[in-house]
């Protein structure tokens, strides 16, 4: 005895197909962060006691954006 199959029409076809906002935002954010890491690697230096890593990353992010 076979199980019943549900063959329903696709929910969105053609011009009606829509993506959630995060379906584009998350990959773009990931790409931007990876690009920022690659761009900042040329200025890599040994750790000095100047501040936490979070402060340094935030400063680099602000320099890259502004």
Q: Give the torsion through C-alpha atoms of 29, 32, 38, 42, to 10 deg.
A: -130
User: Which position has the token pair 């005895």?
Assistant: 1
Tell me the per-residue pLDDT of 4-60, one tens digit each, with 9 for 90 and over: 666 665 565 566 678 888 888 999 999 989 888 887 766 666 656 666 777 888 889
pTM: 0.40
Q: In terms of Cα–Cα distance, which of 61, 14, 19, 26 is closest to 40?
A: 61
Q: CA-to-CA distance for 51 and 58, rounded, in angstroms?
A: 11
């Amino acid at each position: 005895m076979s199980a019943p199959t549900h063959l329903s029409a696709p929910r969105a076809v053609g011009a009606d197909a829509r993506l959630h906002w995060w379906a584009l935002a998350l990959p773009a954010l990931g790409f931007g962060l990876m690009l920022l890491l690659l761009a900042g690697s040329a200025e890599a230096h040994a750790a000095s006691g100047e501040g936490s890593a979070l402060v340094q990353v935030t400063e680099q992010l602000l320099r890259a954006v502004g």
